[in-house]
Amino acid sequence: MKKYTDISDITDLDSLIRETILLKMTPFEYHGLGKHKTLVMLFFNASLRTRLSTEKAARNLGMEVMSLNVNEAWQLEFEDGTVMDANTSEHVKEAAQVISQYADIIAVRAFPSLTNKVKDQSEYILKSFEKYATVPIVNMESATAHPLQALADAVTISEFTETKRPKVVLSWAPHPKALPQAVANSFASMMQRMDVDFQITHPEGYELDSNITKDVPIIYNQEEALAEADFVYVKNWSNFNDYGKVLNTDPNWMMTAEKLGKAKFMHCLPVRRNMVVEDAVLDGGQSIVMQQANNRTFAAQIVLKQILENLN
């Protein structure tokens, strides 16, 4: 792996998952690998799990970590050829090149606006860093993708799979605020690369990007979709067609213990209790959200490890 901006950067998923599970058993084995290597983490948006797990992953590898909340410094410019006479103080061209000189790997978190679909879909922040940085980029959740989360999800499903080809359902849930499609996108892409029976259920009109969901069955009847599921991944996303809108907050889409049946419950967290999922599910024995969150460290660590191994 030479960078990790999207799950398409994974060539052999099975072996990557296997290596991650091995790494989890001996997290400090490669502590020498990151010696004198620096990870710079750039946050355009808030983070708890991603910040802590990625930093921990880097430190497990012996890397130095420097974090910057970019907007606490100043606004970056992303347009080419613009006269910078307004609010932006530095062009990403300079910022990315400069930071590359202080870093061996740069990790970037940059959420979508959810107001400008074309711009969000262009992934202009992440792509600008990819274009101008001279070191590998790791995506800590961008406008349309959260590949570190998806890798942790894949590892978790592998660890908990008991049948030959489990049924995995991505089930939309209501939420009061407009949230990105990134987690759902990357999970949907990842499931298409695993040997699982994958289905998506959401209210009509809440279709994700069809370039991502491709031929995945979309079932508008949640009950039907959930039948016999082995894993249910619950996640809200704001509308993708009527972009960024919250058009539905129907509480009937909330996940309940009854609906869950015998499936394992998954969510990327943070999760709003009794809005997205009822307490009984999160507090019950079928929830594997903690294992997912724990795997965030090792997903980040295997990615950083492989990138470090490919440096020069």
**Range in contact with a copy of itself (rule: CB under 8 A) among 98-106, 142-150, 217-225, 240-248:** 98-106
Distances (CA, A) of 69 to 41, 51, 59, 96: 8, 11, 19, 14
- Any residues with CB less than 8 A from the CB of 211 and at least 6 apart, and which? none
Minimum separation from the CB atom of position 98 to a copy of itself (A): 4
Asked if 227 and 259 count as a contact pair (C-beta separation under 8 A), the reply is no
When asked if residue 285 is in the footprint of a copy of itself (CB under 8 A), the reply is no
Residue from 171, 297, 301, 306 binding a copy of itself (CB under 8 A): 297
Fill in the per-residue mask, 219 to 238: x = in contact with a copy of itself (CB under 8 A), - = not in contact: --------------------
- Which is closer to a copy of itself, CB of 213 or CB of 297? 297
Q: Does 118 contact a copy of itself by CB under 8 A?
A: no
Task: Kindly state the smallest distance separating residue 93's Cβ from a copy of itself, in Å.
Answer: 7
Q: In whole angstroms, how close is the CB of 94 to a copy of itself at the nearest point?
A: 6
Told to check if 272 binds a copy of itself by CB under 8 A, we report: yes
Amino acid present at 163 = T
Smallest gap from Cβ 280 to a copy of itself, in A, equals 11
Q: Report the DSSP pairing between strands 38-43 and 105-109.
A: parallel
Return left, alpha or beta for 174; rule: phi > 0 is left, psi -120 to 50 is alpha, else beta: beta
- The piece of 144-152, 153-161, 214-222, 274-282 that touches a copy of itself (CB under 8 A) is 274-282
- 103 touches 34 (CB < 8 A): no
Nearest approach, Cβ of residue 187 and a copy of itself (Å): 18
Please report how close the Cβ of residue 101 comes to a copy of itself at its closest, in angstroms: 4
The least distance separating a copy of itself from the CB of residue 248, rounded to whole angstroms, comes to 14
Return the residue of 293, 303, 304, 308 that touches a copy of itself, per CB under 8 A: 293
Figure out which of the listed residues 15, 89, 241, 256 binds a copy of itself, where binding follows CB under 8 A.
Answer: 89
When asked if residue 59 is in the footprint of a copy of itself (CB under 8 A), the reply is: yes
Count the neighbouring beta carbons within 10 Å of the beta carbon of residue 42: 24
Residue choice 99, 105, 157, 183 for contact with a copy of itself (CB under 8 A): 99
Burial class of residue 45 in the structure, from the number of CB atoms within 10 Å of its CB (0-12 exposed, 13-18 middle, 19+ buried):
middle
**Residues from 164 through 203 that contact a copy of itself (CB under 8 A):** 176
Q: With binding defined as CB under 8 A, does residue 141 bind a copy of itself?
A: no
* Binding residues for a copy of itself (CB under 8 A): 28, 31, 36, 38, 40, 46-49, 51-53, 55-56, 59-60, 64, 66, 68-70, 72-74, 77, 80-86, 88-91, 93-95, 97-99, 101-103, 176, 269-275, 279, 282-283, 289-290, 293-294, 297
